[in-house]
Amino acid sequence: EIVLTQSPATLSLSPGERATLSCRSSQSVSSFLAWYQQRPGQAPRLLIYDASNRATGIPARFSGSGSGTDFTLTISSLEPEDFAVYYCQQRSNWPLTFGGGTKVDI
């Protein structure tokens, strides 16, 4: 099973600041990595697929990069609605797996 390790567990920032979230895989997943945002009480929302492609309707301040085992989600300038938990997910191998999440809070 591929293990995804997200860091940091919590990121404390202010609106307007840049957020950089990391996801490291225990083995290569090529570019088959996605990022999700989950706000309290809501279902996850797809942000990024295939490591760097923004999902439809996702603002340009969200960007993804990386390949192989190291991936990054960047939020260029935090908006109030961006304070949430972010998960990475690999779709390279069965079973599909999620990282443990990074909470972005104020």
Partner 1 sequence: EVQLVESGGGLIQPGGSLRLSCAASGFTVSSNYMSWVRQAPGKGLEWISFISTSSSKYYADSVRGRFTISRDNAKNSLYLQMNSLRDEDTAVYYCAGSDWYLWGQGTLVTVSS
Q: How far apart are CA 54 and CA 27, in angstroms?
A: 24
Q: Does 34 bind partner 1 (CB under 8 A)?
A: yes
What is the footprint of partner 1 within residues 52-81 (CB under 8 A)?
55-56
Residue 11 Cβ vs partner 1, minimum distance, rounded to whole Å = 16
Beta bridge mates, 75: 19, 62
The two structure tokens encoding residue 29: 């997943």
Smallest distance, partner 1 to C-beta of residue 16, A: 28
Of 24, 28, 30, 46, the one binding partner 1 (CB under 8 A) is: 46
Q: C-alpha angle with apex 90: 86 to 94, nearest 5 degrees?
A: 140
In one-letter notation, the amino acid at residue 49 is Y
Check binding of 92 to partner 1 (CB under 8 A): no
Q: Extract the tokens encoding 77.
A: 């300038």
User: Three-state DSSP class for 105?
Assistant: strand
Question: Which residue, 35 or 83, is less far from partner 1 as judged by CB?
Answer: 35
Read off the DSSP letter of residue 56. T
Asked if 38 interacts with partner 1 (CB under 8 A), we say yes
Which residues are at the interface with partner 1 (CB under 8 A)? 1, 34, 36, 38, 43-46, 49, 55-56, 87, 89, 94-101
